[in-house]
A and B are shown apart, each in its own frame.
Chain A
Amino acid sequence: MSPSATAALTAKATNGLRHCGNLFALALDVLRTVPRRPFQAREFIQQAWFVASVTILPTALVSIPFGAVISLQIGSLTRQLGAQSFTGAASVLAVLREASPIVTALLIAGAGGSAICADLGARKIREEIDAMEVLGIDPVHRLVVPRVLATMAVSVLLNGLVSVVGVAGGYFFNVVLQHGTPGAYLASFTALAQLPDLYAAELKALVFGAIAAIVAAYKGLNARGGPKGVGDAVNQSVVITFMLLFVTNFVMTAVYFQIVPQKGG
């Protein structure tokens, strides 16, 4: 490799590391600022409402086919294995443990995070953020913390919604379309699934919400170069959030299996 290419690569790498560090610094800053009074209740409620309004409908619409696909897959798999009596349990397990956090992650990052990033990015390039700082107001306290908390709350809510809609969708497809027996479906619910599954999923959703909002805020607050810069920031924020969320999901799932004993094992 030529020296200049190496130099360019090193520059890229250090740049990446620096962004990583700054992102982490913002996360710590948010953590430190959460307890600061006065709590921005108005902003929190507005943002929660806003994030919910851009995510709920798509979430419901995505989770129905998602639940259906899972239940189709599992329905035919259990039939092949001769374990139809576990269809309900397996669907619930799949929806609760994996489908709902993933769907939540997709929508929180894709719809919620991108909206937050665009909003903050537009404010940044119009110098509103600078003006706020000059007026002696910390944008992290005033804008970022309420958004992070709101996204976390909505994310937990969405996860619940996906679980319910997914399970209901699964029931519909299994019982109505694949002619399973309702009794067996419902009876097997608790055979494999357990309450900690739900807790773990909600915890995942909470963490996903935090990550999505912090990345969106970071990218938004560092937008530069006019409207195109905001577009780029939104794009990057969504991509980065997806990657982070899938990695986090994997890690949290692995940890979950280590610490929570599984039923029927």
Chain B
Amino acid sequence: MGVEIRVEGLTKSFGHQVIWQDVSLTLPAGEISVMLGPSGTGKSVFLKTLVGLLRPDRGSVLIQGQDVSRLREHALYEIRKLFGVLFQDGALFGSMSLYDNIAFPLREHTRKPESEIRRIVLEKMDMVGLIGAEGKLPGEISGGMRKRAGLARALVLDPEIILFDEPDSGLDPVRVAYLNQLIVDLNAQIDATFLIVTHDIASARQVPDNIGLLFRRELVMFGPREQLLTSDEPVVGQFLNGRMQGPIGMAEEKDAAQVEQELAELDAGRHTGPRGGKGASGEGVVPRLLPSPGITRSPRWQAIAEREEMAALRARVADHARSRRSARDAAEEVD
């Protein structure tokens, strides 16, 4: 069963540079959450704070009644056994082959015989499509392969909490699709709590239960997927559409007057500049990605599937009514 993470009033700074302050959110047990935010807003720092690699200045991270930010070294190592973490660059051990990298947690923390380890490692490597690359060193493979190997290593101990730092960066669109399906299937099977940091809006719209957005040293929003996807916050809109117009600038922040002007332009319906990068094709709720047909669904996923079916039905009815109405209108015009 997944584990809930409760973050309260978390603040982190490096020297005088405040990264984010007063971040409070709850990652519900067994659910998938996504964290969005412009580059450099401290998403990776947030993940590292959750696992206790970085200590916050203030606030707490509560997991099973323990505050990760205040745990002693020993207790910290214990609680980390709940986690599987995929780092932004994979963070594979450069001196070990992929096989040894993935087997490493099993060898360190379990007393399984080598044959059993082999079975598990090959199963995970198959899952991420790396069969045949067992003997390669991390330096000899592509970035996307490193990412997938890091993913396999993060999953090998059947963690309760899975943190992914940009699992899709460096992957091609087809692999991203497979990866998203893999995440949903995993969630349906092992019921772990997922937190995914990503820049890929298309994935963020389909995959999670909850979405959060970090911007300007704050958590702008965190809540159910529908809430963020239908929000009219200017930052959210800009992010979901991948526009240049809006509060986010190249160097994170723009001056207030310019933002004011650009938002007025948008209100008047004048869009300028490119848009739609990284799957940012606009706001609005899209159908949720469901587990593959072969996977037995937990009650949670059954409920989600039913809700999705209802939504699809409602959409079809509305669609039908609309087309009937327009047909009638056309007929009246002819009369």
Chain A interface residues toward B at CB < 8 A: 122-123, 126-128, 130-138
Contact = CB atoms under 8 A, between A and B. Distances in A.
Interface of B: 48, 51, 53, 73, 77-78, 80-81, 83, 85, 87-89, 91-94, 104-105, 108-109, 153
Nearest to A138: B77
A134 B80 contact: yes
B108 A137 contact: yes
Contact of A134 (B83, B88, B93): B83
B51 to A, nearest CB: 5
Contacts of A131: 85, 87, 91-93
B53 A135 contact: no
Contact of A127 (B83, B87, B109): B87
B109 A130 contact: no
Contact of B81 (A123, A127, A132, A136): A136
Given A135-B108, A136-B108, A123 B94 contact: yes
B80 A136 contact: yes
B94 A130 contact: no
B108 to A, nearest CB: 6
Given A135-B104, A136-B108, A136-B109, A128 B94 contact: yes
B53 A134 contact: yes
A128 B93 contact: yes
Contact of A130 (B77, B81, B91): B91
Contacts of A128: 91-94
Contacts of A123: 93-94
27 contacts: A122-B94, A123-B93, A123-B94, A126-B89, A126-B91, A127-B91, A128-B91, A128-B93, A128-B94, A130-B48, A130-B91, A131-B87, A131-B91, A131-B93, A132-B93, A133-B80, A134-B53, A134-B85, A135-B104, A135-B109, A135-B153, A136-B81, A136-B108, A136-B109, A137-B77, A137-B108, A138-B77
Nearest to A129: B91
Contacts of B92: 128, 131
A169 B153 CA distance: 54
Closest 8 CB pairs of A and B: A131-B91, A127-B91, A134-B85, A136-B80, A136-B81, A127-B87, A136-B77, A135-B105
A138 B53 CA distance: 12
B19 to A, nearest CB: 15
A203 B108 CA distance: 35
Most buried by B among A130, A132, A136: A136
